Copies of this chain bind each other. A is one copy, B any other.
Amino acid sequence: MNRKNAKGKTDMTQIEEGAEILLDFEKMQKAVQGGEAIIPVAVQDAESKEILLIAHVNETALEYTLKHGIATFWSTSRNELWVKGATSGDKLELVDVLVNCEQNSLVYLVKLLGKGSCHTEGTDGEARFSCYYRKISDGKLEFIR
């Protein structure tokens, strides 16, 4: 497995559509470089219970989410508020915000307002339902949806 800081060196198509494991373990080190106080949030479809994505929120993003009822994050790459689906239309309507024991991570239970939640497209040309469309199998990535 190649788990070296892949994103800098590797084409995004290879990362997103390939079968090679190219995990970007530098993700969190980079994510906090913006200086924002953030915690992770797993986003789960309230109906199917599939996990759609994992992102991060700061205080502003959580407040925006609770106020507007639309899943909103802090983009650690752009260092700005990220209203999911604001450009693509694939917004996620908030159903509930769950909080863990230690109050340092969240679950957003959501309802999809668009067709998918991932920025990548499946073979049908539509946004993929979930970002977790591959699993690790024998040292490779196997497409599961």
Contacts and interface: CB of A to CB of B under 8 A. Distances in A.
B49 A38 contact: no
Instruction: Please tell me the size bucket of the interface on A.
Output: 35 or more
B132 A16 contact: no
Interface of A: 3, 6-7, 12, 15-16, 21-29, 31-32, 37-40, 42, 44, 48-51, 53-54, 56, 58-59, 62, 66, 96-105, 107, 118-120, 128, 131-136, 141, 144
B59 A25 contact: yes
Q: Which 3 A-B pairs have the closest CB atoms?
A: A49-B49, A27-B104, A25-B37
B21 A99 contact: yes
Contacts of A15: 101-103
Q: Within the oligomer, what is the number of copies of this chain? A: 2
Contacts of A134: 98-99
Nearest to A77: B102
Given A27-B39, A56-B28, A58-B25, A102 B51 contact: no
B37 A96 contact: no
